[in-house]
Amino acid sequence: MKHALIAALACLCMTAPAWSLDAPGWRDLATSIFGERPLQDGSEFIAIDSPYRSSDDARTLISAQVEAPRGAMLGKVTLVLDENPMPVSAVFSFERPLPRFYFQTTMRINGPTPLHVVAETTDGRLFVVGRYVKTSGQGACAAPPGTNPDEALATLGEISIGIDRVTGAGTSLDLALRERQVDVDISHPSHSGMQMDQISLLFIPMRYVETIEVDLDGAGYVEMTGSISLSENPRVSLSVPSGTQSIDVTMTDTDGTVSTAHKSLAGY
């Protein structure tokens, strides 16, 4: 049975173009990512929220609510932007299996593209849902950085952690199943390797957020593997159990820079 949040998100997606598991482009890409493993229609378990047309290709919000099928648990969730230079755009790997998971990220959308969210259960099954996103023609992955590269280095790696609404409030969800949304903001230029310095006219070396590890109450929760699809100064929002007391975040970028942040949620 779908929960109320999945139903609400699904309503937002009704105007999206139809997608198909058998679309030639997706079929080939899925094989390159997941091999010959079969992918099942996940419409009953995954709801994507994305704009019909991105107003800011360099910072587009993509979110999804994912629930495991009855009797199963989630082990991993993958966001694929099919036509981006690095299609596998974010992978969320769970330290402990989860029955449900919500994420939202700020992404670069390089051009009009299908996008797919793939949920992997701990028994090895793959479920997928797709959308299509039109863009404003900004060519976001090669667009000039929004800040001076040298100035961006001064704050690179700074992390702030925020706590947002309770999900599941006002529904039939048991109190123990209710979740909060944690927002992780990271100061990072997220250079794609395709951008040109507007003064030197040389390409800026690739450097992006490689991993974000989130621990709850001193134990591992989720590790997100990033890509050049992450926006400049990315925000990654995640659902966490409402009873969480503390959050620790560790960011590692492709140059080996490591930064950490801690937040106590005892007051919530």
Over its length of 268 residues, how does the chain's per-residue pLDDT go in tens digits? 444 444 444 444 444 455 678 777 899 999 999 999 999 999 999 999 999 999 999 999 999 999 999 999 999 999 999 999 999 999 999 999 999 999 999 999 999 999 999 999 999 999 999 999 999 876 667 777 777 767 778 889 999 999 886 554 434 444 445 789 999 999 999 988 877 777 777 888 899 999 999 999 999 999 999 999 999 999 999 999 988 999 999 999 999 999 999 999 865 4
Exposed / middle / buried, residue 222 (Cβ in 10 Å: 0-12, 13-18, 19+): buried
**What's the predicted TM-score (pTM) here?**
0.87
Task: Read off the pLDDT of residues 90-108 as tens digits, 9 standing for 90 and up.
Answer: 999 999 999 999 999 999 9
Where do runs of H (alpha helix) occur along 71-230?
149-155
Strands 179-186 and 235-241: antiparallel
Order across the sheet with 60-67: list the strands: 46-49, 60-67, 100-107, 235-241, 179-186, 159-167
Instruction: Determine how many CB atoms are found less than 10 A away from the CB of residue 259.
Output: 16
Q: How does DSSP assign 3-33, residue by residue?
A: -HHHHHHHHHTTTSPP--TT-HHHHHHHHHH
